């Protein structure tokens, strides 16, 4: 019997999730059918319900449904609760269980795949949207020395920093307040790169950095990564590793087997030029 899983989003035509999960299933010998569903903007809950009725066991959730999926859940893990959003659902009888693996996927990619420990690191995170919100708990669990959040709408960064202050050393400031600050790891968690824009981060903030990480993936050298390259940052990375690692976490949650991610990341990596 083939177990059914899916990713739901809108639009969904460019999703890489069926390819990633198909690859995980092949190498781990799991018999699953994983497909992409274009969710209706007005009837997301009905689409999830229809998939459950058809025997679906779990779903990845992508934009713009992460908040609606969170609201639909009957149970939520702390990571999802704090993020206020979910990117993975598991269906067990009447239960709809929600988790959020974006942050843990990002943390694994930075530490395990790229080899940059977060413990003791001075971190600068640009943006305060859904992806950053999901990453803060996993980041702070690694005990960085300092985590500075900056956002175009400064109040959003300040609210997030206040919400997560109990979990570690997180503070917010404006882009204009970064002069004189130095960081080991700078992460672009804004969506600016999707429009080929550069968040207004001063180049000095990248001067000591050993890693510049762009959450967007498949875009090559984005304006942020180009700025980092010009500042002499020795390691540049995009979010393809995060994408594959979060998928692997969902796969383990659903199937109880951990797939190897390295070969999948390698075949999806686009050169940063
Ligand atoms: P959201 O829409 O929730 O948040 C967008 C953030 O970007 C906000 O903080 C916004 O600031 C900021 N922003 C947008 N444009 C600019 C700009 N021109 N200059 C400065 N700041 C800007 O998006 P998400 O958090 O969902 O996604 C953020 C990025 O992460 C995207 O590139 C997305 O593709 C990527 N992502 C990657 C994943 C992966 O697996 N690799 C998974 C999830 C996301 P303001 O609040 O002021 O509007």
Same domain, 86 and 115: no
Per-residue confidence at 9, pLDDT binned at 50, 70, 90? very high
Residues 6+ apart with CB under 8 A from 45: 68, 72
For range 25-47, the mean pLDDT: 98
CB of 239 shorter than 6 A to ligand 1:
yes
Same domain, 134 and 81: no
CB of 106 shorter than 6 A to ligand 1:
no
Compute, in angstroms, the gap from residue 193 CA to the centroid of ligand 1: 8
Catalytic site includes residue 4? no
Per-residue confidence at 187, pLDDT binned at 50, 70, 90? very high
Same domain, 143 and 175: yes
- Asked casually if ipTM beats, i.e. exceeds, 0.85, the reply is yes
**Domain boundary residue, one of 75, 100, 125:** 100
Same domain, 32 and 154: no
CB of 209 shorter than 6 A to ligand 1:
no
Same domain, 62 and 140: no
Show the tokens assigned to 265: 């990341």
Same domain, 76 and 113: no
Per-residue confidence at 126, pLDDT binned at 50, 70, 90? very high
Structural domain count of the chain = 2
For range 227-248, the mean pLDDT: 98
Q: Which atom of ligand 1 is nearest to the CA of 127?
A: 9
Which of 61, 127, 157 has most ligand 1 atoms within 8 Å of its beta carbon, as the pocket-test mutant? 127
Same domain, 121 and 191: yes
pLDDT in tens, 60-75: 999 999 999 999 999 9
Percent of the chain with pLDDT over 70: 100
Same domain, 39 and 84: yes
Residue 149 confidence (pLDDT): 98
Residues 6+ apart with CB under 8 A from 67: 84, 85, 130
Residues 6+ apart with CB under 8 A from 156: 128
**Nearest residue (CA) to ligand 1, atom 18:** 192
Same domain, 95 and 107: no
Report the DSSP pairing between strands 56-61 and 88-92.
antiparallel
Residues 6+ apart with CB under 8 A from 233: 186, 206, 209, 210, 211, 212
CB of 218 shorter than 6 A to ligand 1:
no
CB of 152 shorter than 6 A to ligand 1:
yes
- The verdict on residue 262 lying in a domain is no
Compute, in angstroms, the gap from residue 189 CA to the centroid of ligand 1: 5
Rounded mean pLDDT of the chain? Answer: 97
Compute, in angstroms, the gap from residue 242 CA to the centroid of ligand 1: 14
For range 269-273, the mean pLDDT: 89
Per-residue confidence at 241, pLDDT binned at 50, 70, 90? very high
Q: Which atom of ligand 1 is nearest to the CA of 246?
A: 40
Residue among 4, 16, 53, 66 flagged as catalytic: 66
Residue 199 confidence (pLDDT): 98
Instruction: Decide: 80 and 99 in contact? Cβ < 8 Å.
Output: yes
- The verdict on residue 81 lying in a domain is yes
Q: Look up the domain containing 171 and give its range.
A: 103-240
pLDDT score of 273 more than 90:
no
pLDDT in tens, 136-185: 999 999 999 999 999 999 999 999 999 999 999 999 999 999 989 999 99
């Amino acid at each position: 019997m083939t177990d059914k899983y899916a990713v739901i989003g809108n639009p969904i035509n460019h999703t890489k999730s069926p390819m990633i999960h198909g690859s995980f299933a092949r190498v781990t010998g799991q018999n699953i059918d994983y497909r992409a569903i274009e969710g209706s903007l007005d009837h997301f809950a009905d689409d999830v319900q229809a998939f459950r009725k058809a025997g679906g066991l779990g779903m990845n959730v992508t934009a713009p449904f992460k908040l609606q999926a969170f609201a639909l859940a009957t149970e939520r893990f702390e990571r999802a609760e704090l993020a206020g959003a979910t990117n993975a659902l598991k269906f067990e009888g009447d239960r709809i269980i929600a988790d959020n693996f974006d942050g843990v996927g990002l943390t694994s990619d930075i530490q395990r795949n790229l080899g940059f420990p977060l413990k003791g690191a001075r971190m600068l995170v640009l943006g305060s949207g859904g992806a950053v919100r999901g990453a803060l708990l996993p980041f702070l669990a690694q005990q960085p020395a300092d985590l500075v959040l900056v956002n175009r709408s400064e109040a959003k960064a300040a609210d997030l920093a206040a919400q997560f202050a109990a979990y570690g050393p997180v503070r917010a400031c404006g882009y204009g307040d970064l002069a004189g600050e130095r960081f080991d790891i700078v992460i672009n968690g804004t969506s600016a790169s999707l429009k080929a824009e550069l968040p207004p981060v001063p180049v000095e903030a990248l001067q000591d950095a050993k890693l510049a990480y762009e959450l967007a993936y498949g875009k090559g050298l984005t304006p942020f990564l180009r700025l980092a390259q010009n500042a002499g940052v020795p390691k540049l990375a995009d979010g393809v590793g995060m994408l594959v690692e979060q998928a692997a976490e969902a796969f383990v949650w659903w199937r109880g087997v951990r797939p190897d991610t390295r070969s999948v990341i390698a075949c999806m990596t686009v050169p940063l030029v």
